[in-house]
Amino acid sequence: MKAPIVVHCTAPTGGRAVTINDELAGLIHDDRDLIKLLRQAGIYDAEHCLDDPHWIEWRGSPAHRYEAA
């Protein structure tokens, strides 16, 4: 089973796109942005999901890295 949330590779200008169930959810620039986005999507225990591969796949760039490549 794939993770429902994907944090995509870092954009050339910094930040990372996030998809939830293959739908674009937003652009984030740090873990706080990600937690806020997930809470807005109804995941209220978001801070505990960040390193859980059942919830989040960090794709193309290291986890928790948001600066431009």
Using one digit for the tens of pLDDT, what is the confidence trace for 8-61? Answer: 999 999 999 999 999 999 999 999 999 999 999 999 999 999 999 999 999 999
Burial (CB count within 10 angstroms: exposed 0-12, middle 13-18, buried 19+), residue 41: middle
Read off the pTM.
0.93
Mean pLDDT, the chain, integer: 95
Q: Tell me 1's DSSP state.
A: -
Domain ranges (residues) in the chain? 5-58
pLDDT at 1 over 80: no
